[in-house]
Homo-oligomer: A and B are copies of this chain.
């Protein structure tokens, strides 16, 4: 998106907002008293450190919580207790069947022409090397398409290396351009005879830590190990390849997928009950699981902190809003939205009662835009919301096509209206899926502001009786 229309739009909305609030002209969705409550909630949230304290608690007392680990079980108990302590009316869990995977250790070296030890991580779901060390020449490809274009059998006995460098963008769309090589690269390389697959990390940082993330095998194609090199190590490998001598890599990996060892994880769900329409749910999503390499502060501790804090702030009001506000902390997002899909299946029959939903799973930048996915009539109410949020620097997207982000896409696909809050994601992929995803990366000022926006949205949608489907 260009910044000029955004800035202009914001200025117009800012002006509109002050005028409208003074005149109570937003009564189309909320009345004057409700608008006053909303402004008080905003102040409360902006002055509160609750969302940060929740993230601090989760990352300190639980930390990394990958599916199938003891820590993940602990995270479920932690979440149940935290919701209760924060004043939720009803807290429960719903089971989710998931596969299990053990990362193990990756040892990767360049053997020749110039020996180096490289920093790498297994891609999520990768097989290991069965106690062996593989040793083979490296063949480089600029991107996934170049790998796809390689001739059949051309990689026989080789290690394929995709060197594509992810681009940094405010909306994170560089991820979409890069992540295909992570998901599909190993299978495509194996089809052409490769014995292992390595790739430049899908990430925008220059730290010597690798980025993990899920990968997939294809039925009928040999499963070969898939690994990501840290970005400085990918540079080093490229600099060796540039010298036009064969580059021999050795690689061992103790990763261990257990696709048959199904484990049970849990979506943790909590809500404050609506005072008039308790069976209508304004739904806030985030995921509780994390990869095992960081402490899951950014991905998705922030989502956990913001959603729980938003409901907590509303729970402090003397009266519950009309509708229920429900937080779903999804299980097993990282390994393929298992929690979200289980939720959508279990709630097939009451999905119609999920009046609108938002997911937070994109870090900690300032929210600069909201994008709805609602019926044409409800768009007027979304404009009211946008007017209220304009002074927080949020503009209204010209699109009305949101289907729910991350986990919420499963509910969006099942027909739930959605709203996306788009934060500045420029630095998100510096930390995402790396050991650097730790508490110190949380921007406490942005977190307060974003939590306030979430609180305002939740109250706005729960206190109205708008049908966002219409």
Q: Other CB < 8 Å A-B pairs besides A60-B243, A62-B114, A63-B115, 6 of them? A: A60-B239, A116-B295, A207-B436, A232-B436, A232-B438, A235-B438
Min CB gap A298→B, angstroms: 12
**Contact A440–B231 (Cβ < 8 Å):** yes
CB-contact partner of A438 in B61, B236, B295, B435, under 8 A: B236
**Hey, which bits of chain A sit against chain B, CB under 8 A?**
56, 59-64, 71, 113-116, 119, 206-209, 231-232, 235-236, 239-240, 243, 294-295, 434-436, 438-441
Measured CB to CB, the closest approach of chain B to A463, in angstroms, equals 37
- A61-B114, A119-B435 known; A441-B209 Cβ under 8 A: no
Summarize A's interface: helix, strand, loop or mixed.
loop
> Bound state CA distance, A48 and B139, in angstroms?
32
Bound: A116/B71 CA distance, A: 9
Q: Which residues of B contact A239 (CB under 8 A)?
A: 56, 60, 439
Q: Are A440 and B63 in contact (CB under 8 A)?
A: no
Residue in chain B with minimal CB distance to A435 = B208
CB of A209 within 8 A of CB of B206, answer no
* 10 shortest interchain CB distances as A-B pairs: A232-B438, A208-B435, A60-B239, A206-B440, A61-B114, A63-B116, A208-B436, A232-B440, A207-B207, A235-B440
Residues of B within 8 Å of A434, CB to CB, are: 208
**Contact residues in B for A114 (Cβ distance below 8 Å):** 60-63
**Which chain B residues border A209 with CB–CB below 8 Å?**
207-209
Shortest distance from the beta carbon of A270 to any chain B beta carbon, whole Å: 22
Would you give the shortest CB distance from A62 to chain B, in whole angstroms?
7
User: What would 16 A/B residue contacts be, using CB atoms closer than 8 Å?
Assistant: A56-B239, A60-B114, A60-B239, A60-B240, A63-B114, A63-B115, A119-B435, A206-B441, A207-B436, A208-B436, A208-B438, A209-B209, A232-B438, A235-B439, A236-B295, A239-B439
* A108 smallest CB distance to B (angstroms): 14
Q: What separation, in Å, do the CA atoms of A60 and B436 have in the docked complex?
A: 25
- Residues of B near A63 (CB, < 8 A) are 114-116, 236
Residues of B within 8 A of A231 (CB): 440
**How close is A465's CB to chain B, nearest CB, in angstroms?**
43
A115 to B62, CA, bound (A): 8
| B residues less than 8 Å from A440 (CB atoms) | 206, 231-232, 235
- A295 CA to B208 CA, complexed, in Å: 11
Q: With both chains docked as a complex, state the minimum distance between the C-beta of A435 and any C-beta of chain B, in angstroms.
A: 4
Chain B CB within 10 Å, residue with most, of A64, A115, A295, A438: A438
Cβ contact of A232, chosen from B236, B243, B439, cutoff 8 A:
B439
